[in-house]
Amino acid sequence: MADDKYKIQKIDDYRWRIPREGKMRVDGIVYADKHMLEEIQKDESLQQVINVSYLPGIVSHSLAMPDIHWGYGFPIGGVAAFDMDEGVVSPGGVGYDINCGVRLLRTGLYRVEISGKLESVVNTLFANIPSGVGSHRKDLKLTQQEEKNVLKNGARWAVSQGYGTKDDLEHIEEKGCIPGADPELISDRALERGRAQLGTLGSGNHFVEVGYVSEVYNEEIARALGLEKDGITIVVHTGSRGLGYQVCDDFLRVMIDASRKYNIELPDRQLCCAPINSYEGRNYLAAMACAANYAFANRQMITHWVRESFERALHVDPKESRISPVYDVCHNIAKFEDHIVDGQKKRLCVHRKGATRAFPPNHPDTPDAYKSVGQPVLIPGDMGRCSYVLVGTEKAYSDTFGSTCHGAGRVMSRGQATRVTKGRNIAEELKSQGILVRADSRATLVEEVPEAYKDVTEVVDVVDHAGIGKKVVQLKPMCVIKG
């Protein structure tokens, strides 16, 4: 298949090349099937793949996962790695919601045990976990110094305050704390925005979803992950709230100036950046780590309130519900990792913007509990369809810097979704499918209506067939709370 605008070349049924030309430093590689590619070309995300390839020090390829859609600077679903000596770091390659991510919780409960109690479960979750724009917890008052401790220590801080156990930390990317965070680089405005929002869900596509294992594709790996048919699961999807947004906003201004200072030619101002080892680059990475740690702490605290909510709604002892993390992964992050480039091991700065790490079995950074099967990969769908659990693969590690997609990917803007759902009652539509939803506002439900997203099953099938993730189980939603 060829396209006049992007000169796209077919590699195989699930990969497409945008060949290097002009000021591109590397090829673009897009993971998609033919139908998806036609849809992808309706926005400017492929141009963003090309734009990323212009950046200094980029290694191998500018990559796009099958959930790709237009974003700020990088496309959402974009992955790019940069050489430590010649490369750059760009806030546009991480995103505004730093360490927006997803945590999967398994339980000792089964579908039949909670089916008649869903109303109580969803109402208790909604009452216990603040959601919506500007949501905050009235019972949590952080001093500025305590907030800085959160930024430095991440989920470890939450556990030290009684929100969960040390075992939880073993099932979180980076054990819930990215090193190198420097809270002194965080602006007063960012601290102010974050102080009251810790332990809250927020708005937009963030959610807590109770579901069950509806399909098992690999029994052995599912057992290793503690997942079985009809077992109840909980997915928590949220990030660094207003603090992360403000950190990004603050450093975009810094990076605009840095791009000029270091004479970096930008195809798009939204790709403003600085050399990784520059003063500006190091400061951004240290501030980004603070926001990422805030997000880890946020999901850890929400996990604690999920446990409390189940105990209260179902009148079960915590030992009976046995709610524990399968894993917690970042979606928006830049990280230092070792990868093989041209046969040589190299230290790289890997940007994942709406993408998930997918490390293989026996990799040093794959958690000890999953060394034999590979790092869990969590791909949530929308509130009306399903989600998937996969594991990372050697092919992902060799071809995509150990990366895969992070979700379904939007096909409608929030404005479009609002227009096409005019006059519809989304909550009732979902209820008719057996899915109970509670949301802070009707606007959230119409903006996040299932048809606003690609079919996550099609996206995951591309990942599985391309070998950059291996399907393990499918999860079906039963009840959801949204912001």
pLDDT of residue 132: 65
pLDDT tens-digit readout, 171-188:
999 999 999 999 999 999
Q: Domains in the chain, please, with CATH?
A: 9-95+336-355 (no CATH), 101-335+363-482 (3.90.1860.10)
Is pLDDT at 315 greater than 80 in this prediction? yes
- 13-41 confidence digits (pLDDT tens): 999 999 999 999 999 999 999 999 998 99
Question: d(Cα 4, Cα 151) in Å, to the nearest integer?
Answer: 48
- Per-residue model confidence as pLDDT tens digits over 37-83: 998 998 999 999 999 999 999 999 999 999 999 999 999 999 999 99
Q: Which two structure tokens, joined as six digits, stand for 252?
A: 């975009």
DSSP 211: E
What confidence tens digit (pLDDT) does each residue in 374-401 have? 999 999 987 778 999 999 999 999 999 9
Name the nearest CA neighbour of 282 among 97, 88, 100, 150. 88
The pLDDT, as a whole number, for residue 137 is: 63
Percent of the chain scoring above 90 in pLDDT: 82
From CA 141, how far away is CA 199, in angstroms rounded?
A: 11
pLDDT tens across 320-338, in order?
899 999 999 999 999 999 9
Is 136 a residue whose pLDDT tops 80?
no
Q: Is 465 a catalytic residue?
A: no
pTM of this prediction?
0.95
Going from the C-alpha of 351 to that of each of 243, 254, 361, the distances in angstroms are: 20, 19, 22
Which pair of structure tokens corresponds to residue 175? 């054990």
Write down the pLDDT at residue 138: 59
What tokens were used for 249?
């906003």
**Least confident span in 227-236, 408-417, 437-446:** 408-417
Residue 454: predicted pLDDT: 72
Q: What is the pLDDT, as a whole number, of residue 278?
A: 98
Six token digits for residue 7: 């000169």
- Write down the pLDDT at residue 1: 41
- The alpha helices in 315-387, defined as continuous H runs, are 318-321
Are 94 and 244 in contact by the 8 Å Cβ rule? The answer is no
The alpha carbon of residue 73 and the mean position of all alpha carbons in its chain are separated, in whole angstroms, by 17
pLDDT of 3 > 50? The answer is: no
Predicted local confidence at residue 298, as pLDDT: 97
Q: Considering the candidates 61, 206, 339, 406, report the single residue annotated as catalytic.
A: 406
Would you say residue 2 has pLDDT above 60? no
